[in-house]
Amino acid sequence: MIVNVINRKNLFQFLLVSGLFSSCKQEDTRIPEDFEVATAWADMTNYIAKTTPANTPTFSSRCFGYIGCTMYESVVNSSDEYQSVATELNGLGALPLPGQGVKYKWVLSLNAGQAEILRSIYIQTSDENKRRIDSLEQHFEKIFKDKDSKDSNDSKSIAYGRMIAQKIFEWSKTDGGHRAYLKNFDKTLLFENRPGCWKPPLYAQSFSHFPLHPHWGKNRTFIASDSMLSDPVFITYDTTPGSAYYNQFKAVYDKEKALTQKEKETAIWWGDDPDETFTPPGHSYYLATIAIRKTKPGIVKCAETYAKVGIAVADAFRNCWKWKFQFFSERPNTYIAEHIDNEWHSFWPDPPFPAFPSGHAIQASAAAVVLADLYGERFEFTDSAHSGRKRDELRNADFVVRHFNSFWEVAEETANSRFYGGIHTAQDNIAGLEKGKEIANNVNKLNWKKKTN
């Protein structure tokens, strides 16, 4: 355990993670375990995702990828079991190895790396948020650094983590998504206007009438093979009542008319609106934190978890957007209003991008598969992400915490929630879940562990 290398004289005042953002009063006098440091940074990552204006699921998914990779690469060399995956990532190349003869405090490397990558990749966040990042970094430094600052290993550990973050940030700049928050909507975009194609929503989540990040599908994937996945199968457009295409939308319409209270609660729980929350990929990052807090693994497995989930959701969104703009398919609000009921509108407002496949489903599936690989198919936990949020008066539903027995249950509920919300058909969700699995399998296939003979 990394904490073993810490001089026990360095007793500290450790803020519980829940109190880090709001209060300095809740104190603990024990040394935090590695998993607590890792999860504190994941909490900070989600906090920044939630509170940075103009954030999007696309941009944040990419950030989770780079932040997770940074955490992994900043500590992986502490392990005899794990190895760097840098050379397997698309265009990153080998990262510098730690110095010989240095007794690294890996938790300091992790701490410095997370602070550095967050500051860099979320450069658009507020000054107040930047101060929070600095404050968390200093907090852990104070705990883990030699109090007389005489140990040069400390500064080398910090420098190593920072350097890994800088290398990864430099790599990120060329993927097509760098500072993409400045071009969320391409106002010069000319898009199709054929029957069945996406139309700007009227009951909308965004004021934009252009689709979000239309070029995101051209971005570099984290894993090269993820850019070569086969296209999902799309049911042919048909307005004939009873046709397969028609029935997809009729099912959405019928469901909306018969939503149960539990289904309403499910729909709002997984909304994860980027204007108010940490976005859907942030929810997956949060699930990784739940798994870590429950099992308390070592520092490298913590980092592996965030790296895998981060890469999975990033490549899921990149591929999802490729297909969204390739198929450029309509939302139920368009088809149903035209062919079933002119006065209908969905339970949940439309996001500003095409429907097929579902972004919620694909990223939830990708995250669920990597988490199941790490923590087992059966994993019981409670998701309290939105606990305490104000009741949704408009939809007459509360934010009710969820209990699950497996990560796959989460993926399915996430997908279904969009069907309940009336903004996705079943085929959007099924395709998302299927393709998410393929992306996760590619993530799992990387050589995370050294081969043992």
Candidate ranges 103-111, 225-233, 293-301, 340-348; the one touching another protein (CB under 8 A): 340-348
Per the structure block, which two tokens stand in for 110? 């992790």
Pairwise CA distance, residues 206 & 200, whole Å: 10
Length of the chain: 453
Pairwise CA distance, residues 185 & 260, whole Å: 35
Pairwise CA distance, residues 223 & 90, whole Å: 5
- Supply the minimum distance, in Å, between the C-beta of residue 188 and another protein: 10
Pairwise CA distance, residues 42 & 44, whole Å: 5
By CB under 8 A, residue 199 contacts another protein:
yes
Candidate ranges 25-33, 104-112, 200-208, 320-328; the one touching another protein (CB under 8 A): 200-208
Residue closer to another protein, measured from CB, 90 or 185: 185
By CB under 8 A, residue 275 contacts another protein:
yes
By CB under 8 A, residue 203 contacts another protein:
yes
- Considering only residues 389 to 408 of the shown chain, the ones binding another protein according to CB under 8 A are 393-394
Going from the C-alpha of 89 to that of each of 28, 165, 215, 222, 306, the distances in angstroms are 39, 15, 21, 6, 15
- Supply the minimum distance, in Å, between the C-beta of residue 363 and another protein: 21
Candidate ranges 9-17, 50-58, 170-178, 249-257; the one touching another protein (CB under 8 A): 50-58
By CB under 8 A, residue 181 contacts another protein:
yes
By CB under 8 A, residue 200 contacts another protein:
yes
Sign of CA dihedral 404, 408, 414, 420: negative
Pairwise CA distance, residues 107 & 64, whole Å: 19
Residue closer to another protein, measured from CB, 339 or 402: 339
Pairwise CA distance, residues 105 & 114, whole Å: 15
The residue within the footprint of another protein, chosen from 207, 242, 452, 453 (CB under 8 A), is 207
By CB under 8 A, residue 343 contacts another protein:
yes
By CB under 8 A, residue 421 contacts another protein:
no
By CB under 8 A, residue 113 contacts another protein:
no
> In DSSP terms, which residues pair with 329 in a beta bridge?
197
Residue closer to another protein, measured from CB, 222 or 335: 335
By CB under 8 A, residue 186 contacts another protein:
no
Size of the site for another protein (CB under 8 A): 34
**Judging by beta carbons within 10 Å of its beta carbon (0-12, 13-18, 19+), is residue 53 exposed, middle or buried?**
exposed
Residue closer to another protein, measured from CB, 116 or 226: 116
Candidate ranges 94-102, 164-172, 201-209, 240-248; the one touching another protein (CB under 8 A): 201-209
The residue within the footprint of another protein, chosen from 273, 373, 409, 413 (CB under 8 A), is 273
Terminal Cα-to-Cα distance of the chain (whole angstroms): 25
The residue within the footprint of another protein, chosen from 109, 111, 205, 425 (CB under 8 A), is 205
Pairwise CA distance, residues 249 & 331, whole Å: 9
- Supply the minimum distance, in Å, between the C-beta of residue 53 and another protein: 5
Per the structure block, which two tokens stand in for 421? 């919300």
By CB under 8 A, residue 127 contacts another protein:
yes
In three-state secondary structure terms, 60 is helix
> In DSSP terms, which residues pair with 82 in a beta bridge?
449
By CB under 8 A, residue 54 contacts another protein:
yes
The residue within the footprint of another protein, chosen from 178, 215, 294, 345 (CB under 8 A), is 345
Per the structure block, which two tokens stand in for 190? 């000319």
Pairwise CA distance, residues 93 & 87, whole Å: 4
3-state secondary structure 220-233: CCCCHHHHHCCCCC
> Hey, how many other C-beta atoms are within 10 angstroms of the C-beta on 136?
24
Residue closer to another protein, measured from CB, 199 or 322: 199
By CB under 8 A, residue 125 contacts another protein:
yes
Which of the 8 DSSP states describes residue 32?
P
Residue closer to another protein, measured from CB, 145 or 199: 199
Chain positions contacting another protein, by CB under 8 A? 52-55, 123-127, 179, 181-182, 187, 193, 199-200, 202-205, 207, 209, 273, 275-276, 337-339, 342-343, 345, 349, 393-394
